[in-house]
Each structure stands twice: as structure tokens, then as C-alpha cells.
Structure 1
């Protein structure tokens, strides 16, 4: 059985909660995971244990303002500006290096947008050779149709973010829009670590990152080797169409795949119980297919 190892890692001036899902034997690959808005790393159901059972170790952390990294209500949603958000992600990846096995980076929703932002930032180009592939689950590249904020809301939101960066704002995502599983909806409603709170600075930064991605204002670093992107057609949290358009535009990346999940909602990892294993298998299959011959053999042996 896979084992879990939890702890804290010091990133800059912040102690971030971490958890690692380890295989029984030596790992054949390592996955660094970035969670979404109003989320934490213990809400991904069987995804990480399933990957660990196939030899893929997953290391994840609760970002500033979220989950168990929050020690006081005053810290809820206090993510800081985009520069700090991305540097935290980069520093956590660096904390997993050097690695004896290939390293992959996966981001869900807001975390997917952060992963792309990092992969596009020239300041982190030196990290690219250490990352074998990028896995994106329902990334926040655009708002779904019918849920777009007005241009006036966006304008004043950005202005307020500059004038009152630490002011907090409730920004709830209806749980019934995130998953088709009533049990998960109930869990989202009752989870004490979910607070729906962002600062104006953090929310504005997320809007800016999304606008840059959907507007084609970012270019992936040359060292990006492989991308997998999965998205549900009934996603009411982020845009399926924007994801499809974005990955099709990445013509410089030869090894890329866009996976459509027909009728699925935003949290592919927490869809209907019978579907969660399908998603976990898809992610694992893609990672394992990009290992060397010896690593692939070990992965195959570990499943016997």
C-alpha cells in the first residue's frame, strides 16, 4: 500500500504544509502537484494513491492562504501577488530536485494557470530541463460561457487590488457546479478548510494571469517538452473551449495531448465514483509513457 508523509517546508518567509504519497518501492517518476482556488491537497480523492500504486510519487503543498498552511483566520486567502505565488511554486519544485527519476508538474484549475505561467516565465527558464512534462487538469485559462465577469467588474477589481491589496472578498464557487457527485458536493459544503476567501490582490493577480493566457500574451519557455491537458465539456468553473484553443496554439511543443471528458464537470478527480479511476489512469498512463525503457519496465513490474 502507498504511504503518506506529511510535514512543512520553509519557502521564503512562509512555512507551507506538504504531503507526499509514496509508492511501496522506489519511485519511477515524481509528480509535483499545484492545487486550485479554495482548495487543499487532501481533496483529490484516489488520484494520488492510484498514481503511487503505479510507482509515481506525488509531492504537493497547500499554497499560502489555503488549507493547512493557514494557521490563523487572518491568513485565509492571503496569497500575495503573482510574483510571490509563482516563486512559491518554483521553490517547491526546486525542493524536490535533484531527482533520480523524471519529474512532472501538474496543476488543477487555478493551479493549472499557475503552472502555465511558471512555464512561460523567462525568469524560470533554468527549471525547464528538470521537468519532463506538464499535466493540466481543467486549467484556468478562461471563464466558461455564461460565467464571465463584466469588463467593468474586472476593471474595478484590478484597481481595488492595487489600492487595497489585502482587503478580503468572498468569492464562492457553487459546489454543485464543480462535480456531479452529490457526496462530493456535500463534502465541499462541510469542509472546514474551505473558506471561499481571496484578497483583492490575489484575485486580481489570478484575473491577470488568466487574461494573459487567454489573450495569447504568454509564450512557453523553449525547454517545455511535453504537455497533457484534460478538460470536461460541462465545466462551469473554467473554460473547456479556452483550454482547447490554448493547447492548439502551442505549435512549438511537438509532444502534446488534449483529452476531452464528455459531460464531466470541473473537478475531474472528483467526478462520479466510477469515473475517478478513469481520470487517474489517464494521467498515470501519460506519465509512464514518457519514461525511459528501464523506468517503464520497473513501472510495469510494479503493477504485476
Structure 2
């Protein structure tokens, strides 16, 4: 059985909540996972235990402003600018480097956009070069069709973000839009750690990252070795079409995979009970195929 370990990671005066899922025996690989907007690392159901059961040590954390890392109401949604968000992720990654086994980095939704932003930042070339592969679950590259904010809302939002950076705005994705499972939807509504508050600075930074990814301004480092993207065709949190377009534009990459989940919603790790084991097996398969002697086993059930 995988071992779960809770802890903290200190960055300045802030303690980030961390959680690790460790396999029995020596790990075949390591995975650092970055959660999405209005989310926390304990909401990924059987994904991390399953990965650990396959020999993949998984390291997660609640991002600054989210989950248990927001110890007070004042800290909720207080993420800071993109530079701070990315430096937090890098700080977590560095705890696992250098490594005797391959290291992978994954992100869901907003976290997927952050992971791609990191993989495109020359400031962290030394870290990027040590990552064996990048895994994106429904990455936030663009808004889905019909859910795009108006030009004026974006313009004035960015302006307000500069004038009133710490002003908070409740902006959660409707629970019904992220999963087809009614129990998951209800659990989102009941979860006390999901406050839904973003600061204007944080939301503005999110919009900027998304625009840079969608336009191609943010370009993957030449040190990126492999990329896997999974996205549902009925995703109401991010644009499936934009994810596919971004993937197809990465012509410089030799090792890349795009998995279409037909009819699935935003949270591939929590879509429906009947398919709950599909996404974890896909992620494990990608990782283990790039590890010496690695393959997905059949012994674990979600």
C-alpha cells in the first residue's frame, strides 16, 4: 500500500502545505503535481495513490493562496504575480533534484498553464533540463467557446489588477461544469477549502499567461524532452480546440502525445465512476514508458 505523508514547505514567511504519496520499495520515477484554480491537492481522488502503486512517487502541494496553504481568510486567493507563482513551483521541484530516477512535472487546468509557462522560461533552464517529461491535464491555454470574457472585462480587469492588486473577486468555475459525476459536483459545493476567491493581480496574471500560451509568445525550452496532454471534448473549463492547436504547433518536439477523452468534462481524474481508472492508467503509462524497465501493472484497482 502507498504511504501518504503530509508536511510543509517553507518559502520566506509562508508555509505551503505538502502531501506525498510514496510507493512500496524504490520509486521508478517521481512526479511533481500542480493543482488548478479553486482547488487543492487532496481533491484528486485515486490518481496519486494509483501512481504510487505503480512505483511513481508523487509530490503535491497546495499553491499559495489555495487550500491549506491559505491559513487565514486574508491569504485566500493571494497568489501574487506569475513570477512568484512559478518560483514557488520551482522551489518544490528543486526539493527532488538531482534525482537518481526520472522526474516528471504535471499540472491540471490553471496548474497546467503554469507548468507550460515554467517550461518556457529561460530563467529556469537548469531545472527544465532535468525534467524527463511534462504532463498536462486539461491545461488552461484558452477559455472554452461560449465562456470567453469580453474584451472590456479583460481590459478593465487588467487595469484594476494594477491599481488594486489585492482586491478579491469570487470567480469559481460552476461545479456542474467540471465533472459529470453528481457526487463530485456535490463534494465541490461542500468542500470548505474551496473558497473561489482570486485577487485581481492573480486573475490578471492568469489571463496574461493564457494569452502568451495561446498566441505562441511563450515558447517551450529546447530542453523540454517530452509532453503529454489529455483533454475532454466537452470541457467547459478550458478550450479543447486550443489545447489541440497548441499541441500541433509544437513541431520541434519528437516525443509528444495528445489524448482525446470523448465526451469528458474538465476533471479527467474525477469524470465518472465507471471511467475513474482510465486517466490514472494513461498518466502512469506515459511515465513508465520513459523509465528503465517501467510498465503499468494490473495489481491496483481504484
SS at match of 1:10: strand
SS at match of 2:210: helix
SS at match of 1:42: helix
CA contact (8 A) 1:4 1:22 kept: yes
CA contact (8 A) 1:55 1:302 kept: no
Count of matched residue positions in the alignment of Structure 1 and Structure 2: 300
TM-score, with structure 1 as normaliser? 0.96
Q: CA separation in 2, counterparts of 1:57 and 1:171?
A: 33
In the alignment, structure 1 segments of 5+ residues that lack a partner are none
Aligned to 1:175: 175
What RMSD, in angstroms, separates the aligned Cα atoms of the two structures? Answer: 1.3
Aligned to 1:192: 192
Query: Which structure dedicates a bigger proportion of its chain to helix?
Result: 1
Q: CA separation in 2, counterparts of 1:11 and 1:100?
A: 25
Does 1:65 pair with 2:65?
Answer: yes
Residue 129 of structure 1 and its aligned partner are, at CA, apart by 1.9
Residue 38 of structure 1 and its aligned partner are, at CA, apart by 0.1
SS at match of 2:78: coil
Superposition map of 1:14-93 within 5 A: 14-93=14-93
Aligned to 1:208: 208
CA deviations over 1:162-195 (Å, ceiling 9, x no partner): 0000000010210000000000000000000000
Aligned to 2:10: 10
Q: Which runs of 4+ in 1 moved over 3 A?
A: 299-303
CA deviations over 1:98-149 (Å, ceiling 9, x no partner): 2221100000000000000000011011112210000000000000000000
Residue 72 of structure 1 and its aligned partner are, at CA, apart by 0.6
CA deviations over 1:35-89 (Å, ceiling 9, x no partner): 0000000000000000000000100110000001111111000000010001101
CA deviations over 1:217-268 (Å, ceiling 9, x no partner): 1111110000000000000000000000001101111100000000000000
Aligned to 1:278: 278
SS at match of 2:59: strand
Does 1:98 pair with 2:98?
Answer: yes
Residue 11 of structure 1 and its aligned partner are, at CA, apart by 2.1
CA contact (8 A) 1:27 1:55 kept: yes
Aligned to 1:138: 138
Aligned to 1:258: 258
Q: 1:192 to 1:300 in 2, by over 3 A?
A: closer
SS at match of 1:5: strand
TM-score, with structure 2 as normaliser? 0.97
CA deviations over 1:19-50 (Å, ceiling 9, x no partner): 00011111100000000000000000000000
Of 181-190 and 88-97, more deviation after overlay is shown by: 88-97
SS at match of 1:195: coil
Q: CA separation in 1, counterparts of 2:149 and 2:92?
A: 32
In the alignment, structure 2 segments of 5+ residues that lack a partner are none
Q: CA separation in 2, counterparts of 1:153 and 1:180?
A: 29
Q: CA separation in 1, counterparts of 2:12 and 2:58?
A: 22
Q: 1:244 to 1:36 in 2, by over 3 A?
A: same
SS at match of 2:219: coil
Aligned to 2:244: 244
Residue 97 of structure 1 and its aligned partner are, at CA, apart by 1.4
